[in-house]
Amino acid sequence: MKTEVIPFREFMNGDYKKSVDQTTKILTATLPALVLITPKLAFAATADATFGNVHKAIMNAFDAGVVLVIIFAGASWGFGHRTKAIEILIGVSCGYILARHAVDIRNFLQGI
C-alpha cells in the first residue's frame, strides 16, 4: 500500500479529496490541440487509402501530442515538480518508442 502525505490545511478543509488525476489534466490540456492539428486524411479514410497512409497521419498527430506532453513536463520541472516531470518524460518516451515501432513489433511477433 502506498502512503501519501497530505498537507494539514488541505486535510482540515477537505480539499485533499478533490484532486484531479494527472492523466485527466494532460488529456484536457492536449486534446483540443490534437483535434486541430490532426490531418484530415486520418478522418477521411476512403477505400483508396491504405493502412500506411492512415497510420502515417495518426502518427503525425501522435508526434504533436508527444511534443505537447514534453512541454508540459518541462513546465512542471520549471515549477519545481522535478520528480513528476521525470516520471512524465520517462512515460512519454517509452510510449513514443512503442507507438513508433508498433508495426515492427507486430511483424516480429508474426514471424515467431
Is the residue at 86 inside a domain? yes
Q: Looking at residue 48, what is its pLDDT?
A: 46
Is the residue at 75 inside a domain? yes
Q: Looking at residue 54, what is its pLDDT?
A: 78
* 80 φψ region: left (φ > 0), alpha (ψ -120 to 50), beta (else): left
Query: Cα Rg for the chain, rounded, in angstroms?
Result: 19
Range of the domain at 52: 20-110
Is the residue at 38 inside a domain? yes
Q: Looking at residue 19, what is its pLDDT?
A: 58
Is the residue at 6 inside a domain? no
* Count of C-beta atoms within a 10 Å radius of residue 77: 16
Q: Provide the residue type at 105 as one letter.
A: I
Is the residue at 42 inside a domain? yes
Q: How far apart are CA 80 and CA 88, in angstroms?
A: 14
Task: Quote the number of domains for the chain.
Answer: 1
Is the residue at 7 inside a domain? no
Is the residue at 57 inside a domain? yes
Is the residue at 81 inside a domain? yes
Q: Is the pTM of this model over 0.75?
A: no
Q: Tens-of-pLDDT digits for all 112 residues of the chain?
A: 677 777 778 777 777 666 566 667 776 777 666 666 665 545 555 544 567 777 788 888 889 999 999 999 999 999 999 999 999 999 999 999 999 898 888 889 988 8
